[in-house]
Chains A and B, each alone.
Chain A
Amino acid sequence: MDRNSHINYILQLADNALVLGHRNSEWTGYGPILEQDIALSNIALDLIGQARYLYQHAAKLAEAAGTGRVTEDTLAYGRDAWDFRNCLLVEQKNGDWGKTILRQFLFSAWQYFFYEQLQQSRDSELAAIAEKSYKEVVYHLRWSSEWVIRLGDGTKESHGRMARALEQLWKFTGEFFVPAGYEKELTGIAVDPAVIRPLWEDRVGEVLAEAGLEANPGAWMQTGGKEGRHTEELGYLLAEMQFLQRAYPGCEW
């Protein structure tokens, strides 16, 4: 097994969590009501917490490989967009509340089945992180499912917004199930996306049906994020998120 592939795989999972966590945190102080502001901020914190465990794990492996000093902070704040391995879905802009919720739902449904499988990983550190994170994701999925149904099956206005959001985001979901080059070499460590696909499709299909929403089954799917080819949104996100560490490297407060 190639150590670089292993590190890239962990970074992919960490970047997913960090980027979506950051996106959600952009709502803090702006949520539609206080209760939901807190709910989404809680989810942001869960995701950033997951990212930290994963970055720490990746940093340990990288240092063991002799790449110099690597920490969770250098990984989160010191890499540029083409080094990030997150899938394209999580970097998409928040848009309105409906789009944010739908992005969370599509991702949480994936993460839910993914962490379920990852608990069997031969990498015991990854398996432990998956076990801890799974409980958090169970709630993320429950919460976001409720909202997708509530808004999809709500008023004409809310339904229209959800349908638009689905059209914008659906094309980024295919990437979950296309293994990147480095994933294919990690038998026993990585989760086989083919195992998750039918589970994800079933769950997402059920919730969308209850919400009165329909995805385009023949939609063309955009990929590339896992290999570092991103949409332009990620650059703006990193510019804001990394600014402080770029301007004052190693700064603590």
Chain B
Amino acid sequence: MPPKKGSGNKGSRKKYDMTEQQWPLWEVFIRSKQGLDHKHAGSIHAADAAMAIENARDVYTRRMEGVSIWVVESKYIHATNPDEASSLYDPANDKIYRHPTFYDLPDELKHM
């Protein structure tokens, strides 16, 4: 489909604020042709969501990497603290019974 009159993302265009010295950072997620999920590709700078999508397209899909793009402003991503890694992740170490590896699979069953 051709772009609608002038722009595709009217609602998301923001007035550029000259007091902001640098455009905000955005995280880019790309879904590839074969992939079922969006994967983190990297980050870009952009003034608003419309520009972020276009910048992501121009920077991360030049070599046919993707068929769908998500962007989210980096400040909205909350992450775990690396200092807490041992208490968060180590307790799973010895719980191998949580893996579904204790079943005898029939031979006819493929792709498991």
Contacts and interface: CB of A to CB of B under 8 A. Distances in A.
Interface stretch (A16-24, A121-129, A139-147): A139-147
A202 to B, nearest CB: 9
Contacts of B55: 35-36, 39
Q: How large is the interface on B (under 10, 10 to 19, 20 to 34, 35 or more residues)?
A: 20 to 34
A70 interface: no
Nearest to A42: B58
Interface stretch (A7-15, A149-157, A221-229): A149-157
A206 B62 contact: no
B58 A35 contact: yes
Given A146-B13, A146-B50, A112 B45 contact: no
Main secondary structure of the interface of B (DSSP, over half): loop
Contact of B8 (A39, A142, A155): A142
A186 interface: no
For chain A, give the interface size range: 20 to 34
Interface in A89-141: 112, 138-139, 141
Given A35-B59, A42-B62, A149 B54 contact: no
Given A33-B23, A138-B2, A145 B16 contact: no
Interface of B: 2-3, 5-9, 13, 15-16, 18, 23, 44-47, 50-51, 54-55, 57-59, 62
